[in-house]
Amino acid sequence: MKRSLFLSAVIACGILVGNLNAQTVATNPVGFNTSTITPALSVSAPSSTVVSAPFYAPADFRGSVSSLDSTSSFSFSGTPFTASQFTTTPHLARMVSGNSVGRFFLITANTTSQITVNTFGYNLVSGAPGNTDTQITVGDSCEICPANTLGSLFGTSSVPFQTGTTSATADNVYLFNGTTWDIFFNNGTHWKQQGNLSTNLDNTVVYPDRGMFILRRGTGALSLTFLGAVPYSNERTDFPGPGSSFKSNRFPVDLTLAGATNPLNLQTLPGWQTGTTSATADNVYLWNGTTWNIFFYNGTHWKQQGNLSSNLDSTAIPIGTAMFVVRRSTASGNNSTLVQTLPYTLP
């Protein structure tokens, strides 16, 4: 996969802007990344490419939490919102300071001052941080931005993909739901899901930490360009186990498993299972264009199944890609959270 990154001329860094009903809008550095999708040999011989969108949509709001109202809701001073403005189309609440910096939550409801979020199992108001607690405190900074969706990333009635009436004839976007693949395709008008009779799934959320598997049936060249606000804080990514997750790189740079440059360091997670073979250890799967390369940590270095090299710590997880992480070990809540340090300095 070819790719490029361009951190655009910084429109503005930090906080800019104005005060609209006590609402602060920030414009962050923006950039784009282009992923080249391998053409298919034919409709029945598709190609497969792993991609991810390493950018956020520009924020609609930034403010400080004024109160914690329940296990899943919190408020801001004044009346900065219009009721339900963040649910007509999906929005994320992204914590940019405090204990949860780098976490995001899908907003499920909002009043003029309060938002309710899907906490993905966390408890926002727990007084004692624990294995399953995310503690947000009054004064933490939160940013609200439109969530990336299939429609926002790729369009709805005009998409770069081959469209079709079934997933068997169209290009497919695979999203992993923690257990199975959700298979999406565009029928020329809307996004549809194989195995789901809903007519319009344009607003299907592609979370910032999720990878996408593109099954290309079109035989022409295809480049996907992802554009948006560059992450400017640490990111938090959960790798619960036992189980599997398909996680994005998170940052618009190449990462390595544990190399000298931009290491991911999954092996530092509490309980990460090491082993002498991939069959006994926790695994990281990286797509090589046709198959998965399977990596595991042996307690000293990263190794690859079927590769006798002793040290593969510097194996790249390229920008705009994703990895399948298969955990045999048990981890949940904060114990499964990898804090990824911002790997670059912004102007």
Partner 1 sequence: MLKNIAIYAIGLTAALQVVHGQSTQVTFDSGSFQIFNSNTSASIPLTGGSAADGNGAVFQLGYFTGAVNGSNNFTGTFVPLTGQGSANTAPIAGSTGETMNQTSIGDLTSFGAGNGTFAMTLLFNTLDSTSNNNLPPAGTIMSIRFFDGTSLGNSNFSNIVSNDAWVWNAPGTPPSVVAMTLDDANLEWYSIFLGQAGNTAFHTTLVLIPEPSTMALLMVGLVGSAVWMRRRAKVA
Residue 174 binds partner 1 (CB under 8 A)? yes
Q: Judged by CB under 8 A, which of 88, 290, 310, 345 binds partner 1?
A: 290
Tokens of 58: 């520009």
Q: Is 167 helix (H, G, I), strand (E, B) or coil?
A: coil
Could you tell me which of 165, 211, 280, 234 has the C-alpha nearest to residue 48?
Answer: 211
Q: How many CB atoms lie within 10 A of CB 154?
A: 23
Stretch that binds partner 1, among 13-21, 136-144, 152-160, 188-196 (CB under 8 A): 188-196
* Smaller CB separation from partner 1, 26 or 175: 175
Number of amino acids touching partner 1 (CB under 8 A)? 38
Please select the residue that binds partner 1; options are 8, 131, 189, 196, rule is CB under 8 A. Answer: 196
Which of 70, 198, 300, 309 lies at the binding interface for partner 1 (CB under 8 A)? 198
280 secondary structure, DSSP code: T
Q: Is 120 near partner 1 (CB under 8 A)?
A: no
Q: Give whichever of 204 and 262 is closer to partner 1, judged by the CB atom.
A: 204
Apex 150 CA angle, 148 and 152, nearest 5: 55
Of 203, 241, 187, 226, which is closest to residue 88 (Cα–Cα)?
A: 203
Does 295 participate in binding partner 1 (rule CB under 8 A)? Answer: no
Nearest CA-CA partner of 288 in 47, 44, 55, 3? 47
- At 274, the amino acid letter reads T
Counting contacts by CB under 8 A, is residue 46 touching partner 1?
yes
Cα separation, 317 vs 264, in Å, equals 9
Q: Which CB atom, from 19 or from 44, has the smaller least distance to partner 1? A: 44
Q: What is the token pair recorded at 206?
A: 């592609």
Contact segment (CB under 8 A) with partner 1 among 94-102, 111-119, 289-297, 332-340 equals: 289-297
| In contact, 242 and 330? CB cutoff 8 Å | yes
The verdict on 221 binding partner 1 (CB under 8 A) reads: no
Q: Which residues bind partner 1 (CB under 8 A)?
A: 40-41, 44-48, 165-168, 174, 176, 178-183, 194-198, 213, 215, 242-244, 246, 285, 287, 290-292, 324, 326, 328
